[in-house]
Structure 1
Amino acid sequence: MDKRTLKDLLFEQVARIGKAVASPKRLELLELLAQGEKSVEVLTRELGTDIKLTSAHLKTLKDAQLVSVRREGKYMVYRLSGPDVASLWVLLRSVAEEHLLELQGALAQMVSDPAQLAHVDRHTLLDQARRGEIVMLDVRPETEFTTAHLPFARSMPVADIERRLGELPRDKTIVAYCRGPFCVFADEALAILHRHGLQARKLQDGVSEWAAAGLPLTTHATHATHATCATRAAL
């Protein structure tokens, strides 16, 4: 093989990844799977498409080795093929956010009041959570929290907040987060918390952004106590 042909082959192989992520729905699938493995049925419900189209998108991602699949009974369960795939999604979104004015405008519309954002750096936020000065609230579905969550966070899915308000302190700021900047769960949570007079801010990070920044996550792969100890040891 001559050098020109070899070079063309190299770029062609990398382009497979570009082709695989060149779809809004496939990018959303990467964001969803970055929260933890999910069945085709769950992904279909999240995407708001039909199961045939979801399966086709997943096949494209699988052909590019970005996701893997296993059978669980009658269900096909998908997961990212590695943490680098979640980092790829974060990088793509960050580059788009930096250069595309249309995306910047759309994101601005998601934040009705910028003062509601948590305007502190990640390390400061982590220190505040460790000292108990704030309450870090994960408002994603509990299964996603179990897979991985920010250190010292507690799980309270947005659908459960109304009935669990008594578990939240009124003398501390609550920092709610969900799947990242494109997720609306945290905005819904803030609306509920503010309506009941609680102090609350939104963190735009999700677990993918946190991991991409090189910060630790807590998982429940082992007993919760061991996981917490492992997180603290990493800080």
Structure 2
Amino acid sequence: MNKRKIKDLLYEQVARVGKAVSSPKRLELLELLAQGENSVEHLATELSISIKLVSAHLRVLREARLVTSHKEGKFVVYQLAGKDVAGLWVTLREVSEEHLIELRMALSQMVAEPSKLTTMNRETLLKHAKDGNVLVIDVRPESEYEQAHLPFARSMPINELANRLAELPKDKDIVAYCRGPFCLFSEDAFQLLTRKGYRVHKLLDGVSEWQAAGMPLMSK
């Protein structure tokens, strides 16, 4: 094989990954699977598409070796092929945000009030959470929290939050996070807790962003 053919083959193999992540729904699947393994049925519900369509998207990701699967009873469960795949999603999103003004404008609508966001960096937040000065709440589904969460965070799923307000202190800052900058659960939590008089802020990080920054994670 001549050198030109070898180079073509190398680029072709890398392009397989590029093609696999060229779909918005497949990117969302990577973000969801970065929270932990999940069944095809659950993923279809989260993406609001049919099981047949989500299976087709997962097949493309599997062919690019970005995800793997196994059977649990009658269900097929998918997971990322490695932590580096979650890092790929974070890097791709960050590069897109840096260079696409359209994405920055869309994101600005989600964080239209900078005062919503915590001003603490990751290390400071971790220290304050460890010392009990700040309460970090994870508003994702509990199944995602159990697979990986920020250290010292408490699981408070968004669909349970309104009924669990008595568990939250009003004399302490609360920081809510969910799946990352594109997730709206933390915004819903912010709105609810603000109306109820809590001192609350949002963290744009999800577990993928936290991990990509070299910060520790915990699992139940």
The two structures share one fold, judged by TM-score above 0.5: yes
Question: Could you give the per-residue CA deviations for residues 70-127 of structure 1, whole angstroms, max 9, x where no partner exists?
Answer: 1111111000000000000000000000110000000011123111101221111111
Task: Quote the residue 1:154 is aligned against.
Answer: 154
Q: Alignment RMSD, CA only?
A: 0.6
The 2-side partners of 1:113 and 1:82 are apart by 35
Aligned residues: 220
Give the deviation of 1:219 after TM superposition.
Answer: 1.3
Q: Residue 233 of structure 1 corresponds to which residue in structure 2?
A: none
Amino acid at match of 2:201: R
> In the alignment, which residue of structure 2 is the partner of 1:94?
94
CA apart distance, 1:151: 0.5
Distance 1:121 1:99 in 2: 24
Instruction: Output aligned runs, 1:205-216, within 5 Å.
Output: 205-216=205-216
2:182 equivalent to 1:182: yes
Tell me which residue corresponds to 1:85. 85
Which runs of no fewer than 5 residues in structure 1 stay unpaired?
221-235
* Pairing of 1:1-235 with structure 2 (within 5 A): 1-220=1-220
Identical amino acids, percent of aligned pairs: 61
Distance in 2, matches of 1:51 and 1:112, equals 35
CA distance in structure 2 between the partners assigned to 1:108 and 1:160 by the alignment: 28
**CA–CA distance in 2 between the matches of 1:150 and 1:39?**
23
State the 4+ residue runs in structure 1 displaced beyond 4 angstroms.
none
Question: What CA distance in whole angstroms lies between the structure 2 residues aligned with 1:105 and 1:31?
Answer: 21
The CA distance in 2 between the partners of 1:189 and 1:74, in whole Å, is 35
- Structure 2 match to 1:227: none
How far residue 51 of structure 1 moved from its aligned partner, in angstroms, is 1.0
Report the secondary structure of 1:70's partner residue: strand
Q: Distance in 2 between matches of 1:219 and 1:163?
A: 24
Which segments of 5 or more consecutive residues in structure 2 lack a partner in the other structure? none
* Matched residue SS, 1:159: coil
